[in-house]
Amino acid sequence: MTESGRWRILLADDHALVRRGVRMILEQQPDFSVVAEVGDGKEAVDVLRDVEVDLAILDVAMPRLTGLQAAREISRRKESPKILMLSMHDNEQYFFSSLKVGASGYVLKSVADRDLVDACRAALRGESFLYPGAESTLVRDYLGRVKRGERLPNAVLTPREDEVVKLIAESHSSREIAQLLSISVKTVERHRENILAKLGMRDRTELTRYAVRAGLIEP
């Protein structure tokens, strides 16, 4: 919080119009201040090295790093901000993935004008925010298991493999992926082989469909 008593917010979305609309909603609140605004998940992770933030609002699907991948990185920090996910998709898998990477809530863009402020305030109080309709029996069961500290199933792919899948689905070549991730082309090819074997898939088309379902890229 700033000296003037305002909560510091980071806003990350790859659509400038969405960022503008969300910023307007937030800055109508006298105690909210958007102190950083970025266009992808990698920028969101990087800017937190220099800017103190109380709450990070991350779009689920963004270039370079998705909001989910960025949230995973951010939540590992010693003094990480609270995290909210913002999405256009009323998607159960995205919702569960958001909880698993440490987000306090999941807000649909279609009703951000109604839900976003409440979600922000809940997150800043250390509470969870469930968008209307999310409290199905399955969700309550999932949250109950998390609260009780029960072991949850591990993800099929590792975080690094998720990064490779995302870049493959975005049509990057092996050489480009190697440069972006600072690894060798041979390592990229090994990751690709392991990913295809784990998922039981054969080619880029099937990986792209998986990437959409897993929230790594937008449809």
Q: Is 166 exposed, middle or buried (0-12, 13-18, 19+ CB in 10 A)?
A: buried
Residue 52, helix vs strand vs coil:
coil
Q: What pLDDT, on a 0 to 100 scale, did the predictor assign at position 175?
A: 94
Tokens read off for 83? 């995290």
Q: What pLDDT, on a 0 to 100 scale, did the predictor assign at position 137?
A: 47
- Mean confidence (pLDDT) of the chain: 84
Pairwise pLDDT comparison (25 vs 95), residue with the higher score: 25
Question: Mean pLDDT across the stretch 31-44?
Answer: 93
Q: What pLDDT, on a 0 to 100 scale, did the predictor assign at position 13?
A: 93
Q: What pLDDT, on a 0 to 100 scale, did the predictor assign at position 23?
A: 93
Helix-, strand-, coil-residue percentages of the chain, each rounded to 5: 50, 15, 35
Q: What is the pLDDT of residues 188-211, one digit of tens each?
A: 999 998 888 877 788 888 888 888
Question: Mean pLDDT across the stretch 166-186?
Answer: 92
Pairwise pLDDT comparison (77 vs 184), residue with the higher score: 184
Q: What pLDDT, on a 0 to 100 scale, did the predictor assign at position 42?
A: 92
Residue 122 clears pLDDT 60, i.e. is over it: yes
Contacts of 71 (CB under 8 A, 6+ apart): 56, 58, 83, 85, 98, 101, 102, 103
Q: How far apart are the first and last CA of the chain?
A: 37
Interatomic CA distance for residues 175 and 151, integer angstroms: 38
Interatomic CA distance for residues 25 and 163, integer angstroms: 32
Residue 92 clears pLDDT 80, i.e. is over it: no
Q: What pLDDT, on a 0 to 100 scale, did the predictor assign at position 47?
A: 93
Q: What pLDDT, on a 0 to 100 scale, did the predictor assign at position 139?
A: 61
Q: Read off the pLDDT band of 173 (50, 70, 90).
A: very high
Residue 53 clears pLDDT 90, i.e. is over it: yes
Q: Read off the pLDDT band of 134 (50, 70, 90).
A: low
Residue 83 clears pLDDT 80, i.e. is over it: yes
Report whether 112 contacts 25 (CB < 8 A): yes
On whether the pTM is more than 0.75, the answer is no
Question: Mean pLDDT across the stretch 42-70?
Answer: 91
Tokens read off for 152? 């949850």
Residue 45 clears pLDDT 90, i.e. is over it: yes
Q: What pLDDT, on a 0 to 100 scale, did the predictor assign at position 87?
A: 86
Residue 115 clears pLDDT 50, i.e. is over it: yes
DSSP lists the bridge partners of residue 82 as: 55
∠ CA(188), CA(194), CA(200), 5° rounding?
130
